[in-house]
């Protein structure tokens, strides 16, 4: 059945600007029409937006949702002055290995329901808290129940039972063999305490040879060659980008690679927020994502990340919303989501506000009133 959403006070299309006093028609899970309210075609059902704002569903292109356990004590320690390091990942690995498939799937589902209530309708989910052949396989199998955007992150850190060289061999050999059919992407945490540039090149190249798209954790803890490696390998996205050199920015600007920022991580680790001005001036494509994980960014809220991007990274509200929608879609090399144009997937968010600017203007307030995912109004993630 088709549905007309009418009396939209402000429609942020993400592709053709902002429409006032607008309407939108959904048919067969897709956007069938957008335009002035007074010109709307008939539909089987009508929903009155009552003058509120409508935006595209958020596209969260970086998350780590398949895990068990809690690391609130680490957050407390950081807020008391201790620095962030990558070592805490191994705690989550131990808890995840000990959890059953049912426990992991239930927890992932709860986080996705939470994300949807904040307006997220498309999400990428990484493995990376198993770090054995079987635990990485089952993590990706669980992620695949919820999304097609699954990423093999066997190279998150080197587990305690392995030496680095032997573990790289495992990731690029038996582990990749077992998981390649369950993943769309391959990722590496290329930073101190994890994997260096040469190791990352070996791992990502092996994944690309198996047909997986490339993405990276890059330049989170300090300057490195990771972002430029991502560009060299044609990565869809390099993520974090907290410490970028002028050379990194130039390389990104000359490429199709998206710089994905995860401001929730800077909030949670008290690291400096990235400088968006240099990237904006250079013409770099960028996105924002939650990086939802139990250690460094335990938020599923894209509106919170939008508010941080505006306040702390000095994005305009328009830039931040585009980064959270069309930018996230670009980071996943998707053209069917992140905008509300005819033919796009009908992922629609109705705000309890007259303008999308309220996403940053009223931080911490639940402003999402209704969500349509794949054309269906819902309060639970599509399974």
8-state DSSP, 264: H
CA 121/CA 124 separation, integer angstroms: 10
CA 212/CA 204 separation, integer angstroms: 9
The dihedral built from the CA positions of residue 69, 72, 75 and 76, taken in this order, carries a sign that is negative
CA 6/CA 15 separation, integer angstroms: 19
Q: What residue numbers does the annotated binding site for Fe(3+) cover?
A: 62, 64, 217, 291
Q: How many CB atoms lie within 10 A of CB 184?
A: 20
Q: What angle do CA 72, 63, 121 make, to 5 degrees?
A: 120
265 touches 230 (CB < 8 A): no
Q: What residue numbers does the annotated binding site cover?
A: 62, 64, 71, 129, 156, 217, 220, 291, 293, 295-296
CA 70/CA 107 separation, integer angstroms: 12
Q: What residue numbers does the annotated binding site for Zn(2+) cover?
A: 62, 64, 217, 291
Tokens found for residue 273? 């927020």
The gap from C-alpha 94 to its chain's centroid, in whole angstroms, comes to 24
Q: What residue numbers does the annotated binding site for N-formimidoyl-L-glutamate cover?
A: 129, 293, 295
Q: How far from 293 is each of 37, 129, 141, 360, 368, CA to CA, in Å?
A: 41, 10, 18, 23, 22
Task: State the SS3 of 218-285.
Answer: ECCCCCCCHHHHHHHCCCCEEEECCCCCHHHHHHHHCCCCEEEECHHHHHHHCCCCCCHHHHHHHCCC
Q: What residue numbers does the annotated binding site for 4-imidazolone-5-propanoate cover?
A: 71, 129, 156, 220, 296
Structural element, H or E, at residue 178: helix 176-179
Q: What angle do CA 235, 238, 241 make, to 5 degrees?
A: 155
Q: What angle do CA 14, 305, 124 make, to 5 degrees?
A: 70
């Amino acid at each position: 059945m088709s549905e007309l959403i009418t009396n939209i006070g402000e429609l942020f299309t993400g592709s053709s600007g902002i429409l006032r006093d607008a309407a939108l028609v959904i048919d067969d899970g897709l956007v069938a029409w957008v335009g002035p309210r007074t010109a709307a075609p008939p539909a089987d059902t009508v929903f009155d937006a009552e003058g509120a704002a409508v935006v595209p569903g958020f596209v969260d292109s970086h998350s780590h949702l398949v895990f068990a356990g809690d690391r609130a004590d680490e957050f407390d320690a950081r807020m008391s002055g201790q620095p962030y390091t990558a070592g805490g990942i191994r705690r989550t690995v131990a808890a995840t290995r000990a959890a059953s498939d049912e426990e992991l799937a239930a927890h992932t589902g709860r986080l996705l329901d939470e994300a949807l209530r904040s307006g997220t309708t498309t999400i990428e989910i990484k493995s990376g808290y198993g770090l054995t052949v079987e635990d990485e396989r089952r993590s990706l199998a669980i992620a695949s129940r919820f999304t097609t955007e699954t990423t093999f992150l066997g190279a998150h850190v080197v587990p305690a039972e392995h030496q680095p060289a032997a573990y790289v061999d495992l990731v690029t050999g038996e582990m990749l063999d077992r998981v390649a059919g369950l993943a769309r992407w391959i990722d590496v945490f290329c930073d101190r305490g994890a994997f260096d540039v040469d190791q990352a090149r070996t791992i990502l190249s092996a994944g690309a040879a198996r047909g997986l798209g490339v993405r990276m954790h890059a330049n989170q803890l300090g300057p490195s060659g990771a972002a430029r490696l991502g560009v060299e390998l044609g990565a869809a996205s390099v993520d974090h980008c907290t410490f970028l050199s002028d050379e990194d920015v130039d390389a990104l600007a000359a490429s199709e690679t998206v710089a994905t920022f995860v401001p929730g991580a800077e909030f949670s680790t008290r690291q400096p927020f990235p400088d968006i001005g240099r990237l904006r001036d250079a013409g770099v494509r960028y996105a924002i994502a939650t990086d939802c994980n139990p250690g460094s960014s335990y938020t599923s809220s894209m509106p919170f990340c939008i508010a941080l991007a505006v306040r702390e990274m000095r994005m305009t509200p328009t830039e931040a919303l585009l980064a959270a929608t069309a930018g996230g879609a670009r980071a996943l090399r998707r053209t069917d989501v992140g905008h509300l144009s005819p033919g796009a997937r009908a992922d629609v968010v109705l705000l309890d506000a007259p303008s999308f600017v309220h996403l940053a203007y009223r931080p911490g307030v639940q402003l999402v009133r209704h969500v349509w995912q794949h054309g269906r109004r819902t309060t639970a993630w599509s399974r």
